[in-house]
């Protein structure tokens, strides 16, 4: 890819766009400078520094598929809180439910009637009968890993190479290739690793059944935690027959299979699990099910649930490493019930998925018109373009990342009123988006390509 782009021209264009960003957003610039006095790096969460431009935008309001910043500029929001608001911003039903719940008590550490409704609805969608709640998908993944090690008596967990399952320490490992073979090492960028991933974790390449079979045959793995399609290193889809092979191999080796659907919920109301007729032992789902309110859940098969009933009723369950005082709060359960009653339904995906298809067609048209060795990938209502041919695994995807081009396209598009996710080039569509929003991005993408190619 590198030979197709004049890097000096790219640098000049990026500098021009940086100045344009600064000129467009004086109020955000002032607020960012003020925030830097007391917030580390000027932001409340580290990855907020990843946004395009010299400083993050400050948002005045958001609704549906759009938001307006403090300088009065309106944007098509294709990030949607990196899936947290894939329902669309400010769902009226969620706003009403949260308002009503705050007037009757937010959290008591006792179950609410909404909790049982939520569990039943998640069971209907994902096909797993028993559920528990958490604050975030990271927490849910942590809890599931603990349960898996407890149930199997095995010390390790397995993940896909270059996966991402939140800030779960055991999952922050990748494969390093050397003359003596592959070894598990901390993922680049992981700060102060809490655990030695070479001891806690087995890592296997996505779309490689032989490698999975060989590693699980060693007999020390409790569970395989995976996304049915990789999303956090860009979209990498499974080969035909791959997921059926994963299920057969995990069953044969007595390894619990956990589907993390936090991002792959974009495939439909029950995520890839329902859309592709998968049969995991456990499922984790977070982010969008609360309509923006922090919440997550994890479901399990009847067999797993029966084996966990004893520990769940034990005297020491409060110090078992599974919990969270605010997990399953009345506020969170009210938000999830309102969300799942009015959003993330089949009729919502019937609007959002065709928009993602149109997005994909538009980007592919520009790529083909200019003969570029790039590609665009789609999973449900989520789509993403790459500056390379389509990768089949996480390591290949990571090696293909072009940070200079990513930064330029993000900055170019936001300067033209379209916001992508800050990580790679992900775009997400909600029922509130329109074909005009798709066309706005296609136009911006075309303009960036034409500027680069001169």
- The pLDDT tens digits for 216-230 are 999 999 999 999 999
- pLDDT of res. 181: 77
Per-residue pLDDT reduced to its tens digit, 353-373: 999 999 999 999 999 999 999
Within a domain: residue 436? yes
Q: What percent of the chain has pLDDT over 90?
A: 94
Q: Does 145 lie in the same domain as 57?
A: no
Residues 48 and 168 in one domain: no
Q: Is 116 found in the same domain as 73?
A: no
Residue 209 pLDDT:
98
Q: Are residues 34 and 151 in the same domain?
A: no
Answer yes or no: do 219 and 307 share one domain.
yes
Question: Among residues 314, 342, 370, which one ends one of the domains?
Answer: 342
> Measured between alpha carbons, how far is residue 306 from residues 226, 273, 300 in Å?
23, 21, 10
| CATH code at position 270 | 3.40.640.10
Q: Which CATH number do you get for residue 354?
A: 3.90.1150.10
pLDDT reported for residue 61: 98
pLDDT digits (tens, 9 = 90+) for 272-281: 999 999 999 9
What is the pLDDT confidence band of residue 2, given thresholds at 50, 70 and 90?
very low
Question: By residue range, what is the domain housing residue 326?
Answer: 92-342
pLDDT (average), residues 192-213: 96
Residue 359's pLDDT is what?
98
- Residues 350, 230 share a domain: no
Q: Report whether 129 contacts 301 (CB < 8 A).
A: yes
pLDDT tens-digit readout, 119-128? 999 999 999 9
Within a domain: 433: yes
What does the pLDDT read at residue 173?
97
Region 9-13: mean pLDDT is 98
387 — pLDDT class (breaks 50, 70, 90): very high
**360 and 320 both lie in a single domain:** no
Q: Are residues 315 and 352 in the same domain?
A: no
Tell whether 40 and 123 lie within a shared domain: no
Question: 228-248, pLDDT tens digit by residue?
Answer: 999 999 999 999 999 999 999
| pLDDT band at residue 423 under the 50/70/90 scheme | confident
- Tell me, yes or no, whether 2 lies in a domain: no
Tokens read off for 376:
């665009």
The verdict on 211 and 78 lying in the same domain is: no
Q: What is the pLDDT of residue 3?
A: 42
Domain count of the fold of the chain: 2
pLDDT exceeds cutoff 90 at 179: no
**Average of pLDDT values for 207-215?**
98
Is residue 130 domain-shared with residue 181, that is, in the same domain?
Answer: yes
Is the Cβ–Cβ distance between 385 and 405 less than 8 Å?
no
State the pLDDT at residue 354.
Answer: 98
Of 277, 309, 342, which residue constitutes the final position of a domain?
342
Residue 287 has pLDDT above 60, yes or no: yes
Q: Taking 70 as the threshold, does the pLDDT of residue 447 lie above it? A: yes
Say yes or no: 43 and 170 in one domain.
no
- Looking at 290, 315, 342, the residue that finishes a domain is 342
Which of 51-55, 220-224, 359-363, 439-443 shows the lowest mean pLDDT across its residues? 51-55
Classify residue 1: in a domain, yes or no.
no
pLDDT (tens digit per residue) in 136-158: 999 999 999 999 999 999 999 99
Q: How much is the average pLDDT of 194-202?
A: 96
């Amino acid at each position: 890819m590198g030979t197709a782009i004049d890097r000096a021209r790219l640098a000049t264009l990026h500098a021009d766009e940086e100045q344009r960003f600064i000129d467009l957003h004086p109020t955000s610039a002032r607020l960012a400078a003020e925030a830097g006095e007391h917030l580390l790096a000027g932001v409340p969460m580290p990855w907020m520094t990843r946004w395009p431009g010299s400083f993050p935008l400050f948002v005045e309001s958001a609704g549906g598929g759009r938001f307006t910043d403090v300088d009065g500029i309106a944007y098509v929001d294709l990030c949607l809180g990196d899936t947290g608001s894939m329902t669309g911003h400010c769902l009226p039903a969620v706003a009403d439910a949260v308002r009503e719940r705050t007037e009757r008590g937010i959290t008591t550490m006792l179950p609410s009637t909404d909790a049982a409704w939520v569990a039943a609805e998640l069971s209907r969608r994902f096909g797993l009968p028993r559920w528990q709640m958490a604050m975030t998908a990271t927490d849910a993944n942590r809890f599931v890993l603990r349960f898996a090690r407890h149930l199997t008596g095995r010390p390790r967990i397995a993940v896909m190479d270059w996966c991402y399952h939140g800030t779960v320490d055991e999952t922050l490992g990748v494969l390093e290739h050397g003359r003596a073979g592959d070894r598990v090492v901390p993922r680049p960028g992981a700060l102060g690793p809490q655990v030695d991933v070479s001891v806690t974790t087995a890592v296997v390449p996505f779309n490689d059944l032989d490698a999975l079979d060989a590693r699980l045959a060693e007999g020390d793995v409790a569970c395989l935690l995976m996304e049915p399609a990789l999303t956090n290193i860009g979209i990498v889809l499974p080969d035909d027959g791959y997921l059926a092979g994963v299920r057969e191999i995990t069953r044969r080796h007595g390894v619990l299979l956990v589907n993390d659907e936090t991002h792959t919920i974009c495939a439909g109301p029950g995520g890839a699990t329902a859309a592709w007729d998968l049969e995991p032992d456990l499922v984790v789902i977070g982010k969008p099910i609360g309509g923006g309110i922090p919440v997550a859940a994890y479901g399990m098969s009847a067999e797993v649930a029966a084996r966990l009933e004893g520990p769940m009723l034990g005297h020491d369950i409060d110090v078992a490493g599974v919990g969270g005082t605010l997990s399953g709060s009345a506020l969170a359960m009210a938000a999830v019930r309102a969300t799942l009653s009015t959003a993330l339904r089949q009729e919502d995906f019937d609007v959002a998925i065709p928009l993602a298809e149109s997005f994909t067609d538009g980007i592919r048209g520009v790529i083909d018109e200019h003969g570029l060795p790039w590609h665009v990938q789609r999973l449900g209502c989520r789509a993403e373009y790459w500056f390379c041919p389509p990768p089949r695994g996480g390591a290949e995807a990571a090696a293909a990342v072009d940070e200079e081009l990513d930064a330029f396209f993000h900055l170019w598009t936001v300067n033209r009123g379209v916001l992508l996710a800050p990580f790679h080039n992900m775009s997400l569509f909600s029922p509130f988006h329109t074909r005009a929003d798709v066309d706005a991005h296609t136009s911006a993408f075309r303009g960036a390509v034409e500027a680069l190619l001169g």
